[in-house]
A and B are shown apart, each in its own frame.
Chain A
């Protein structure tokens, strides 16, 4: 028992809040991310996450929580994507890539200034790779509120999201205006990406966003089941990641623990591989 759950796992307050925050964020990322995969917007999700690094590092420099930086810049970037409304995939990818490069350049500057002025490297690691163990309890109400907003958008627009993802013309013929659905969805995406960035870091946020849904879509052909499976896989990967990260405090080389984001991302990837293997059988049958 102690080999799996290192002593103190169930009594440690930091672990408790990590388990709760991690689960909430994993559910939001999975539910929103399922539609990211279906709408083929994974690259937009990835871009919002990485641009978030700019906001996160600026927030740290300004002395506030990086979450506000993540969310601020992600909403602005999402609005830009929507307003530019570039329909051609190539120009859209180009524009996204260019904005992304400029954003990361700024992030490099902010992180450098932050590191030299505060003489700590903790800020860069937190912004880029996150850590569930350092999410402060004060942030929990904001995280929960943002999660509710993102989930509410998906629940309210659920059928419209399915129909527009299936085929925009079919949706338009049914009298669905495409613009509000896509704008609201990008807002939910910006929130989900920012929450993921807060917990597992800006660079890794896409893993939590598209990994569990990609696995879930191999396993089921029903939309609600896909959402539930994606959320379950996300939560499981997060909790297993927290467990191993806690255990790793007794591991070499330093005895100071391995990053929890590393474990979460590895578990997400493993679940995806397992689902691929199983999914092949499902499609054949």
Chain B
């Protein structure tokens, strides 16, 4: 076999097979199957309630599955090779931790005892410094972490997740509540970080458009079911109509993709969606 074929067969960093999960007796994930290759940038797209957060928690092992298998790179579920940035974390302003302390906890927060060795301390400080630099957080490295803005805390938490040199970085709605400019900054930062650290990124979002320039794979979730592939493969009228169980149109306008509920006798309300709302944040006219 040539090197190229071998490359193509590299083991995925994450693979889900037929994963289902229930929350309070309700099926939230229903037969979800997809795989993420090393270094791949994956967008997990779906409306509120589509199961994005549950899916991320299943991958982390924080949420038990009802059936199916989740395989992470490495033999068993080596949780330490996964970095995680939770949704809308607002850290306690009273926490006696500087931004750099939070990043250091990403490296050794699971260890026992109090770190005292000065030599290990120097190595530690250098790694923390590098992680802070890679997310442009050096300016506020010594600030009490709970007093930073939401965007700054997010960058600190990305550094916290990256410093353990994971093969997979999971982010839950990192663009929520950000204005357009900040959204582009975060996306650019993540793309750069993914490249530098050779880490596969899986991030959830309800709008795919800010991610179009960087994403290599899309996992589209609706009503707990998922389709996965390249944007061209997945974001098509017939694929998404089958996923939603009713007709939807996919429109490409000025480089943006709009998914709108279809017209006619079909129900205008896809599973998990509020009436009148649509994918991609554009209001549909049924």
Contacts and interface: CB of A to CB of B under 8 A. Distances in A.
Contacts of B82: 173
A276 B61 CA distance: 41
A223 interface: yes
B96 A163 contact: no
A222 B97 CA distance: 5
A174 interface: yes
A81 interface: no
B96 A225 contact: yes
A15 B236 CA distance: 83
A46 interface: no
Task: Say which size band chain A's interface belongs to.
Answer: 20 to 34
A172 B110 contact: no
A37 B94 contact: yes
Nearest to B170: A173
Contacts of A176: 109-110
Contacts of A169: 62, 84, 86
A157 interface: yes
Interface string B61-87: 110000000000000000110111010
A37 B164 CA distance: 28
B257 interface: no
A171 B84 CA distance: 10
A117 interface: no
Interface in A196-240: 216-217, 220-226
Contact of B79 (A174, A217, A221, A224): A174
Nearest to A227: B96
B96 A220 contact: yes
A173 B108 contact: no
A38 interface: yes
Nearest to B83: A173
Contacts of A174: 79-80, 105-106, 109-110, 164
Nearest to B99: A221
A38 B263 CA distance: 54
Nearest to A175: B79
Contacts of B115: 159
Given A155-B114, A157-B112, A283-B147, A163 B95 contact: no
B102 interface: yes
B95 A166 contact: yes
Contacts of A172: 60-62
A37 B95 CA distance: 9
B94 A170 contact: no
Contacts of B102: 166
A133 B130 CA distance: 55
Nearest to A159: B109
Contacts of B113: 155-156, 158-159
A163 B92 contact: no
Nearest to B98: A221
A221 B96 contact: yes
A267 B110 CA distance: 37
Contacts of B86: 167, 169-170
A181 B187 CA distance: 36
Contacts of B62: 169, 172-173
Contacts of B143: 221
Contacts of A173: 60, 62, 79, 82-84, 161
A162 interface: yes
B225 interface: no
A165 interface: yes
A70 B191 CA distance: 57
Interface in B96-140: 96-98, 101-102, 105-106, 108-115
B89 interface: yes
Given A166-B95, A173-B60, A173-B82, 18 more contacts: A37-B94, A38-B92, A156-B113, A158-B113, A159-B111, A162-B97, A169-B62, A169-B86, A170-B86, A170-B160, A172-B60, A172-B62, A174-B79, A175-B79, A175-B110, A176-B109, A217-B94, A283-B147
Interface of B: 60-62, 79-80, 82-84, 86, 89, 91-92, 94-98, 101-102, 105-106, 108-115, 142-144, 147, 157, 160-161, 164
29 contacts: A37-B94, A38-B95, A155-B114, A156-B113, A158-B113, A158-B114, A159-B105, A159-B108, A159-B110, A159-B115, A160-B109, A162-B101, A169-B84, A170-B105, A170-B109, A170-B160, A172-B62, A173-B82, A173-B83, A174-B105, A174-B109, A174-B164, A176-B110, A221-B97, A221-B142, A221-B143, A221-B144, A223-B96, A283-B144
